[in-house]
């Protein structure tokens, strides 16, 4: 955990934000339920028989490329769109049912929404923006809740400021505080960090995650960033073309992918083909187990760069054996472009080595495989 994270933990008292009630309980055991959701936009399938639930205090991440349907699902949960088939529940309350035309409008669903753009009211100062969603409480209580949330997010000095004087990251934190002020049953976050620069994005993610966890807020987060999903989520649902390909704990998604798409979506991979023989596939860097696939089956083998451990060898530089084509420092890891030989054939591959490891071009190498990061799928 970063120093910023430690600082945030010390700022966030256990039990949530002072002066703010806990989120409404969900008697059914889930904060949000999407049941058999299907929807088409003309010839485009936005959702196909989607079943998804978010448990109380859980952060579920919908992860997938642009246009796969993840934001559409979030809009169904919020009540901004009506699905053509299926049901939406928030807690134990049915919010929409396409079959019997049940429909609860967005303002009655008790959900919090934060989008990519903060969309603050320019004519209201920060504290009034945060308190905007609390019209039924006294002015004193509204100010108390707003100031408590702003303090938790490090924005107390800006309470009387107007949005135009704030940075993008500060505006997004104000939008988060505004969405949390009414203690919603479920928070819906739609790519809320994608408009921020990399270093600020990391800090705002940290702030947001700690605040949501300290307050026990169930959350559905939409993102196309796999690193963000791994950092933020308790569970990840990977989407493609309106379908959920795989759901599970981040470790399960990353280490036990069920589809080549899931492997590729989490970053660069080395790809090769082969045939299963005796329960394994031979590759230029050693055999890969494939006992779950019948012998004689043509397969694709996907190997993550971090699965390759590169060892520099003594000897002259030449092209007759496996050697380095290029190396670059990426910060916490080094990127190595390899030429790997197997008989008369050569294969170009990428490896990631921890720390600073920068062999020279044409340096001879040996490559060792971590089989836990190599995956075999039938073609």
- Give the per-residue pLDDT at 25: 44
Q: CA distances (Å), 175 to each of 14, 19, 46, 192, 307, in order?
A: 22, 19, 27, 10, 41
Cβ-proximal residues to 92 (8 Å cutoff; 6+ apart), any chain: 26, 27, 28
CATH ID of 3-261, from 3.50.50.60, 3.40.470.10, 3.40.50.300, 3.40.720.10: 3.40.50.300
The edge-to-edge listing of strands for the beta sheet with 374-378 is 270-275, 298-303, 374-378
* Residue-level length of the chain: 379
Place of tokens 């889930």: 30
Q: With 70 as the cut, is the pLDDT of residue 84 above it?
A: yes
Q: Is the pLDDT of residue 190 over 60?
A: yes
Q: pLDDT tier at 31 (50, 70, 90 boundaries)? A: very high
Q: What percent of the chain has pLDDT over 90?
A: 72
Q: Is the pLDDT higher at 321 or at 285?
A: 285
Q: What is the mean pLDDT of residues 271-280?
A: 94
On whether the pTM is more than 0.85, the answer is: yes
- In sign, the C-alpha dihedral spanning 266, 268, 273, 279 is negative
Residue 318: pLDDT band (50, 70, 90) is low
**pLDDT confidence bin for 63, thresholds 50/70/90:** very high
> What are the residue ranges spanned by the domains of the chain?
3-261, 268-378
| CA–CA gap between residue 57 and residue 23 (Å, rounded) | 9
- The predicted-structure confidence for 123-164, as pLDDT tens digits, reads as follows 999 999 999 888 788 888 999 999 999 998 889 999 999 999
């Amino acid at each position: 955990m970063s120093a910023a994270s430690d600082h945030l933990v010390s700022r966030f008292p256990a039990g949530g934000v002072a002066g703010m009630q806990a989120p409404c309980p969900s008697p059914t055991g889930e904060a949000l339920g999407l049941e058999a959701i299907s929807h088409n936009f003309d010839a485009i399938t936005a959702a196909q028989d989607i079943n998804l639930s978010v448990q109380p205090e859980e952060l579920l991440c919908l992860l997938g490329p642009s246009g796969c349907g993840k934001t559409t699902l979030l809009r169904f949960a919020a009540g901004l769109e009506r699905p053509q088939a299926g049901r939406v529940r928030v807690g134990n309350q049915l919010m929409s049912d396409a079959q019997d035309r049940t429909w609860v409008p967005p303002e009655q669903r008790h959900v919090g929404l934060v989008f990519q753009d903060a969309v603050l009211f320019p004519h209201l100062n920060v504290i009034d923006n945060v308190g905007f969603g609390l019209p039924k409480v006294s002015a004193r209580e509204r100010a108390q809740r707003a100031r408590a949330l702003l303090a938790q997010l490090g924005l107390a000095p800006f309470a009387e400021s107007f949005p135009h004087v704030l940075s993008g990251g500060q505006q997004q934190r104000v939008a988060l505080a505004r969405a949390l002020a009414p203690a919603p049953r479920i928070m819906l976050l739609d790519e809320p960090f994608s408009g921020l620069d990399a270093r600020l994005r990391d800090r705002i993610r940290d702030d947001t995650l700690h605040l949501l966890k300290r307050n026990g807020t169930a959350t559905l987060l939409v993102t196309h960033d796999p690193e963000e999903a791994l950092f933020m989520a308790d569970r990840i649902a990977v989407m493609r073309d309106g379908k959920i390909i795989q759901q599970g704990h981040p470790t399960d998604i990353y280490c036990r992918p069920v589809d080549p798409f899931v492997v590729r979506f989490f970053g660069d991979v080395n790809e090769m083909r082969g045939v299963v023989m005796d329960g394994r596939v031979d590759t230029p860097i050693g055999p890969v187990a494939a006992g779950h696939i019948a012998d004689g089956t043509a397969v694709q083998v996907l190997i993550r760069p971090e699965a390759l451990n590169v060892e520099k060898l003594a000897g002259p530089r030449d092209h007759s054996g496996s050697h380095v084509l290029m190396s670059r420092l990426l910060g916490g890891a080094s990127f190595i472009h390899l030429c790997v030989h197997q008989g008369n054939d050569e294969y170009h591959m990428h490896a990631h080595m921890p720390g600073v490891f920068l062999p020279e071009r044409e340096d001879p190498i040996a490559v060792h495989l971590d089989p836990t990061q190599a995956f075999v799928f039938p073609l």
